[in-house]
Amino acid sequence: MPRSAGVRWWPAFSALVCLAGCGGDLYTAGTLRQYLKEVVNEALNVHCESLKQSGGGLSAFQCSCPAGFKWCAGHCYKLQEAFMTHDQAEASCVQINSHLAVPRSREENLCVAVMASEENKWLGINDRYSEGLFVDWEGRPLTGEHFKAWARGQPDDASDEEDCVEILGSKSSEHLIYGKWNDRKCTDNNPSVCQLA
Ligand SMILES: [Ca+2]
Ligand SMILES: [Ca+2]
């Protein structure tokens, strides 16, 4: 990537990541949320265009996603607006050669959060098989060093029946914060986000 492209893109994105990680309460402001969404999209589009114009090789290729998917922070994501159970959502992702999204950094979490920002969305994380041991869709444990974004007091396995993880939208009750994670009953219905590897 030419130096000029990196200089133009990185400071803006870094600032947004800081907002995402350090100012959780700011998420509750609808205007800021919309601003974040627009600026993130603009910054990523500029970054990708720069790579493509400079013949950025593998990096430019990674900016290209299949139809319906959107590139963000190195991955391709697709919003599934239909409300489905966790199992139905994962099966729907598999049909388009993807899986439910598993954010592994603040940047990736922000990418998922800004899609359909008002709704809670299923992630590819669950503790169905061993209570309290959260694993990704492939069964790999989210170890201590794995990025996590639990809302305050979560996961709480409410009524001993919450084993699937959602990322919270702005419709969440006030003690839960936009962009944070909550464990929820797997048979509840949510939109969801698919992610290509
Ligand atoms: Ca549980
Ligand atoms: Ca919960």
Q: What is the CATH number of domain 3-195?
A: 3.10.100.10
Is the per-residue pLDDT at 52 higher than 80? no
Residue 166 Cα, ligand 2 centroid: separation in angstroms? 9
> What is the distance in A from the centroid of ligand 1 to the CA of 136?
14
What does the pLDDT average to over 6-14? 43
Q: Which of 47, 76, 77 is nearest to 60 (CA)?
A: 47
CA distances from 90 to 18, 73, 79 (A): 30, 22, 12
Give the tokens for residue 187.
């048979």
Per-residue confidence (pLDDT) for residue 170, from 0 to 100: 83
pLDDT of residue 95: 96
Question: Using CA atoms, how far apart are residues 71 and 128, in angstroms rounded to an integer?
Answer: 30
pLDDT at 43: 66
Contact 175, 182 (CB under 8 A): no
Which ligand gives the minimal distance to the CA of 172?
2
Instruction: Using a cut of 0.75, tell me whether the model's pTM lies above it.
Output: no
CA of 123 to the centre of ligand 1 (A): 14
> What residues contact residue 90 under an 8 Å CB cut-off, 6+ apart?
99, 100, 122, 124, 137, 192
Ligand 2 midpoint to CA 150 (Å): 10
pLDDT bracket for residue 6 (50, 70, 90):
very low
164 CA distance to ligand 1 middle (Å): 7
What pLDDT, on a 0 to 100 scale, did the predictor assign at position 140? 94
46 alpha carbon – ligand 1 mean position (Å): 41
Q: What angle do CA 113, 136, 115 make, to 5 degrees?
A: 15
Work out the average pLDDT over 113-135.
94
Q: How confident is the model at residue 172 (pLDDT cuts 50, 70, 90)?
A: confident
CB 16 within 8 Å of CB 39: yes
155 prior amide bond cis, ω within 30: yes
How do residues 21-37 score in pLDDT, each as one tens digit? 444 444 555 666 666 66
Neighbours of ion ligand 2 (CB under 5 A): 156, 158, 162, 182-183
pLDDT of residue 174: 63
The per-residue pLDDT for 192 is: 98
Q: How far is CA 132 from each of CA 121, 128, 163, rounded to the nearest angstrom? A: 20, 9, 9
Domain boundaries, the chain: 3-195
